[in-house]
Structure 1
C-alpha cells in the first residue's frame, strides 16, 4: 500500500514537471496576438473596440470548457510556470523604439507597397519586387528605406525574444511576424509565398 502511495505521488510530480516544461515552450498564440498589435500599429491600422474585446475573450472561447478549466487549475498549481511566459506586450524600451521607427518610416514605404515596387518576403523582411515601378532618381532612396526597415525588423524580432528571456525564440517570432505582415497587407500588395514566389494579395 505504501509503495502504491509513493508511486502515485511520483506520478503526480512527473505530471506537474511535465506541465512546467510545456509552459516554457514558445507560446504561439500570445506571439501571434502581439505580432498583430505591433503590425497594426506600424501599418497605421487601429484596432476597433470589438476586435479588442474579441482578443480578450478569444482564448477562453476557442477551447473546450474542460480544457480551459484544466489549464486554469494547472496554472494555479504551478505558478512558477507563469514566470516563464513571455511578455508579448512589447513593453521593453528597445521594442518600443524600433516599433516607433518602423511606424514613422511606413508612410514613405506605403506608396512603394501600393505600386508593387516593394513586397514582403517570406522571412519577415521586405525587398524590391518590381524595380521597374521605381523611377531611376528614387532607386537609391527606396533601397535606403528597405535597408533601414530590414535592419529594424531584424532588431525587433531579436528584441522581443530577449525581452522574454528566450533569445532562442527569435526564429519562431520571425516566422510569426512573416505570416502577420502578409495577413495585414492591403489588397494589391505583393508578398512571397513559402516557396519564395511573388504573389499579389
Structure 2
C-alpha cells in the first residue's frame, strides 16, 4: 500500500461522517445485506479470516466496504470464509504475466506463492477500503500498476510529447476511476497527502493542459 496508518488519536469531521455513512456499511447493515450472522463473523474474526473495519466512528459503529458483502455471500455458498474467497481472487490476478505484489507495490517479476497472502494481510487491515472504491484483488493490483506507470512517466517528463501526454492522462484517469475519494480523517491517519492527492490531483494541477477536453 502507499498509505500507512499512524497510531495518533484522530477525530472525524461532519463531512467525514457523511462520506462514511454514504459509502460504507456498518456491521448491522453488512449482516442484513449478506445474510450472515454476527456469530459467524465473530468466528471468522477470531480465526483471522475477516478484515478489520475501515473506520470506527465515535458512536461505536464499525464500517466496512460494500465489497465485503460479495466475499461473505461467496463464503456462505462455498462453506468457506472471506479470507479463502479473497485469496482465490488474489491468486487469479497475480497469475497474470509480468506483475507480482510486494508489500503494497507492484513489481514486474515472477509469481511468488506468498504474494496472495501479503495482499490479504494488507486487505485485512481494512485500509484498502479507504483507498479503493472496490478493494478487490484486481483493483489492488491495478492501483499498484497504475501508480508505477505514473511514477515512471513523471520521472522523465515530456509535456511537449503527444505520446507522453496521452500515456500520462490515460494512467491518471484510470487510477481516478478506481481510487476512493478519501476523507480528511484518512489524510490525518496516513500522515498527510494520500495517493489520490499525489498521483491524481497534484498531477492534474501541474499538467492542466493535458487533462482539458
Give the structure-2-normalised TM-score: 0.27
Structure with greater helix share of residues? 1
Q: Indicate the structure (1 or 2) with the bigger Cα radius of gyration.
A: 1
Give the structure-1-normalised TM-score: 0.28
